[in-house]
Amino acid sequence: MTDHLSQLGAKAEAAQNPDEAVLETVPNPHPDVGVSTYIDPRFRRIH
């Protein structure tokens, strides 16, 4: 069973560069509607 939350609570190492990053995606429950995400730059943190 896949619940698309396999990384939640799991310890993971940060990728050294963006090309190595592994991202999990969640299927869009409404494929007829576009989804866009906006993140305000004031709330971004760079580690």
Distance CA 35, CA 21 (A): 22
Answer positive or negative: Cα dihedral of 40, 19, 25, 12. negative
**Predicted pLDDT of residue 20:** 76
**Predicted pLDDT of residue 36:** 65
**Predicted pLDDT of residue 12:** 67
**Predicted pLDDT of residue 1:** 47
The residue type of 46 is I
- The pTM of this model reads 0.23
Where do the domains of the chain lie? 1-47
- 42-to-2, 21, 37 alpha-carbon distances in Å: 34, 23, 15
- 5-42: per-residue pLDDT in tens? 665 666 667 778 777 777 767 777 777 776 666 666 67
